[in-house]
Amino acid sequence: MSTDTVKTKKTTLRTADKEEFEVDEAIAMEFGTVKSFLLENPESEDPIPLPNVSSKCLSTIIEYFTSHLAFRGSSSEEDEAKAYHEQFVKAQDNESIKELIMAANYLDIKDMLDMLTQAAADRLKNKSVEYARRFFGVENDFSPEEEAALREEHKWAFEGVDPDED
């Protein structure tokens, strides 16, 4: 990786909606799939296509990493980084969390995926089944009898559910 602070090597990424993003190679190397591509094609100057990632998603991810990498290597990393992560996650609505999870999974960004899946779990905790269905865009394919039987089997789990905020 380049140690020259004036001219850092950049990589171009092209999203599903045909937008191109020029990023520092340091950030690009955080994405597992991009890293593999760059290692196999070190000379390539062409933009790397990311057909499964939208421009909205990618720009959020880039923004996240720009701050995240600044924390790495700084002595107060732990607390500040933690606060940043919490704020970042809090600012995303459910739809965005889901999109980001898909993108992080496709791009193979382990740490970000861990953070996002934990955030999704935290949001689901203690919410209703209907909330979970809406969150994941999943349809209920149980018959009314089947669903009733499951609820009856785990009656105790359905007590004290938080009201859905959205």
Partner 1 sequence: MSEYLPVEVMVEILRRLPVESVVKCRSVCKRWNSLITNPSFISTHLQTSLSKPHNQLLLLRYSKNDKESLFLHFDNDDCDEFKQLHFPLAFNNYFPFFQVVGSCNGLVCLHHYPDLLDSIFWNPSIQKYIELPKPSISCYNLVFGFGFDSRTNDHKLLKVALEGKTSIKAYLFSLNENSWKRVTASFPQYAMETQSWTTGASQIATFVNGAFHWVGYQGEQGFRYRCMILGFDISTEQFFVLSLPESLIGCFPLQLLIMKYEESSIAVVKTDWEDDEQDYLWVMKKYGVVGSWAKVLPLADHSDQSGFERSPTVLGFRKNGEVLLEVIGPELASYDLNHQQVKHLGIRSKYEFTSVHSYVESLVLLDKGVDAGCVSYANHANDDSSGSDAS
Q: Which residues contact partner 1 (rule: CB under 8 A)?
A: 95, 98-99, 101-102, 105, 113-114, 117-118, 120-121, 124-126, 128-129, 132-133, 136-142, 147, 150-151, 153-158, 161
In angstroms, what is the minimal distance from the CB of 4 to partner 1?
Answer: 38
Q: What is the largest CA-CA distance in the chain?
A: 67
Rank residues 77 and 95 by Cβ distance to partner 1 and give the closer one.
95
In angstroms, what is the minimal distance from the CB of 133 to partner 1?
Answer: 6
In angstroms, what is the minimal distance from the CB of 166 to partner 1?
Answer: 16
Rank residues 6 and 157 by Cβ distance to partner 1 and give the closer one.
157
Pick from 86, 10, 87, 88: nearest CA to 45: 10
Rank residues 8 and 117 by Cβ distance to partner 1 and give the closer one.
117
Label the pairing between strands 20-24 and 48-50. Answer: unpaired
In angstroms, what is the minimal distance from the CB of 21 to partner 1?
Answer: 21
Neighbours of 2 (CB within 10 A): 12
Burial grade of 101 (CB within 10 A; 0-12, 13-18, 19 or more): middle
Both tokens assigned to 96: 């965005």
Rank residues 1 and 121 by Cβ distance to partner 1 and give the closer one.
121
Rank residues 7 and 125 by Cβ distance to partner 1 and give the closer one.
125
The dihedral region occupied by 137, where left means phi > 0, alpha psi between -120 and 50, and beta the remainder, is: left
Both tokens assigned to 137: 């865009």
In angstroms, what is the minimal distance from the CB of 37 to partner 1?
Answer: 21
